[in-house]
Amino acid sequence: MRNIVDFLEQESRLASTVRVLVSAGCVLLVWQLLSLVVTNRLLLVPPADVAFALDKEVRQGAMWTNAVATVTAVVSSFVVSCVIGIAIGLALASSRLLSLTGGPVLSALNSVPIIALAPLFVAWLGLGFASKFVLVLLVAVFPVVVTTEAGLRAADKPLIEAARSFNATKWQIFTTVTFPYALPFIVSGVRVSWARALVGIVVAEFFGSFSVPCPETNATMASCKHTEVTAKARLKLTVNKML
């Protein structure tokens, strides 16, 4: 037993792999035991049933189609949120007037629970790509804005003054002093933004996704359109009741 403990405490790649497998096995074991106690499958599904359903989805091809749709939505919206966030952060850091006027508005928008508004975006934009894109964009953009502005404002003042003493232009100061100094802040904001983007896409997927296109037959297309319209109507009715 002591030899096993000593092996697991090693820093080798094999020991690390074994630790991960043991941890995963313990989680699956606890999951299976809890599923024996909690018999309501709406609350807890056994891991064997999950593996069976996953295998079925993979063999039917629906898993990969839905995965491509989800990855496309989260990656595209994440990239756009980073670009917009950095641009807004640069604008706020470069203008004190813009920071004083636009900062409170951004703070108010950041305090709004975007995740709780997910049903509204689905009701407005539908169950497809657009609602997921907008939801993830709004969730992920604010960390990049905040960290970009903070990083640019935290640039070393003596370095900026030294660059100015050598008659450096504003663009040269930005490219050689302020932006390199703010880059670690921006990277930290991007990492937080990615985590929030994953949360946003999971929440968006809870409300359904028409990632698989309808077959090109009139009857099926009409049925598919009717299903989407019905889902939107039910969702709007639910939102109205909540409000």
pLDDT the model gives residue 30: 92
Query: Looking at residue 8, what is its pLDDT?
Result: 63
State yes or no: pLDDT of 182 exceeds 50. Answer: yes
Task: Taking residues 62-78, report their average pLDDT.
Answer: 86
The 3-class SS string of the chain reads CHHHHHHHCCCCHHHHHHHHHHHHHHHHHHHHHHHHHCCCCCCCCCHHHHHHHHHHHHHHCHHHHHHHHHHHHHHHHHHHHHHHHHHHHHHHHHCHHHHHHHHHHHHHHHHCCHHHHHHHHHHHHCCCHHHHHHHHHHHHHHHHHHHHHHHHHCCCHHHHHHHHHCCCCHHHHHHHHHHHHHHHHHHHHHHHHHHHHHHHHHHHHHCCCCCCCCCCCHHHHHHHHHHHHHHHHHHHHHHHHHC
Over residues 212-235, the mean pLDDT reads 44
State the pLDDT at residue 159: 82
pLDDT at 85 over 80: yes
pLDDT above 80 (res 37): yes
Residues in CB range of 192: below 8 A, 6 or more apart: 143, 147
pLDDT, average across residues 1-7: 66
* 139 Cβ contact list (under 8 Å, min separation 6): 114, 115, 196, 197, 199, 200
